């Protein structure tokens, strides 16, 4: 976590007395804020409020520029370790051909293997709205062909002229391609 922009240093610290930790990590005890600031300045460093919620607030004597750099570095490291889940969408129509369906299922399987969630959408046009069961059959065939490589996050539901469902990678999808 980076140093917040409102981290108080030196004269910005409002408390009358603070618990002081020196640059070597040793406790100096509870000192008046003015004395703690003077102690930090004598060493050519800053008094930084580390825990403002404590009673009294905890302050540390350190180089504030270096502290901010180190906190930013930690934040960048933690961001690298995060996995971004992408959402892919595969659109179809209720009158999709068998070969086209196989082709799209192959792509869905690849998306799941990459760790992405997939939204499978059936678009109804014109009179197709009267035959929603055809769209539901297509979605059922897609799920059937994917076998157990997914986790169904949301079942098929109508959203205007679209029927869609959401699937996420399952345990077998990750093992099969990893």
What pLDDT digit, counting tens, does each position of 113-146 carry? 888 999 999 999 999 989 899 999 999 999 999 8
Task: Write the DSSP symbol of residue 16.
Answer: S
pLDDT at 169 over 60: yes
What tokens were used for 83? 């996995």
pLDDT at 103 over 70: yes
Helices (H), the chain: 33-42, 64-81, 98-113, 132-145, 171-177
Residues 6+ apart with CB under 8 A from 147: 172
Using a 10 angstrom Cβ sphere, with 0-12 exposed, 13-18 middle and 19 or more buried, the burial of residue 99 is exposed
Bond prior to 56 in cis (omega within 30° of 0): yes
Residues of the chain with pLDDT > 70: what percent?
A: 92
* Burial track 123-140 (b if 16+ CB lie within 10 A, e otherwise): ebeeebeeeeebbbebbe
Asked if residue 62 lies in contact with residue 92, where contact means CB atoms within 8 angstroms, the answer is: no
| Residue 17: closest CA among 43, 47, 42 | 47
Domains of the chain by start residue, with CATH:
10-80 (3.10.20.80), 87-177 (3.30.110.10)
**Res. 172 pLDDT band, cuts 50 70 90:** low
| Residue 122: closest CA among 98, 86, 145, 95 | 95
Asked if residue 96 lies in contact with residue 138, where contact means CB atoms within 8 angstroms, the answer is: yes
pLDDT at 3 over 60: no
Residues of the chain with pLDDT > 90: what percent?
A: 35
Q: What is the mean pLDDT of residues 90-102?
A: 93
Kindly report the pTM of this predicted structure: 0.53
């Amino acid at each position: 976590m980076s140093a917040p922009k409102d981290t108080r240093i030196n004269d910005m610290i409002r408390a009358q007395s603070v618990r002081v930790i020196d640059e070597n990590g040793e406790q100096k005890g509870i000192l008046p804020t003015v004395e703690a600031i003077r102690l930090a300045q004598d060493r050519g460093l800053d008094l930084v409020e580390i825990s403002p919620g404590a009673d009294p607030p905890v302050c540390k004597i350190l180089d504030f520029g270096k502290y901010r750099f180190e906190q930013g570095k930690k934040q960048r490291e933690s961001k690298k370790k995060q996995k971004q889940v992408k959402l892919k969408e595969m659109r179809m129509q209720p009158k999709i051909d068998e070969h086209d369906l196989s082709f799209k299922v192959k792509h869905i399987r690849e998306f799941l293997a990459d760790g992405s969630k997939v939204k499978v959408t059936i678009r109804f046009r014109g009179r197709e709205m009267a035959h929603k069961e055809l769209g539901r059959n297509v979605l059922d065939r897609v799920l059937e062909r994917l076998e157990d490589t997914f986790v169904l996050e949301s079942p098929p539901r109508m959203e205007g002229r679209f029927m869609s469902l959401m699937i996420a990678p399952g345990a077998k999808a990750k093992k099969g391609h990893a």
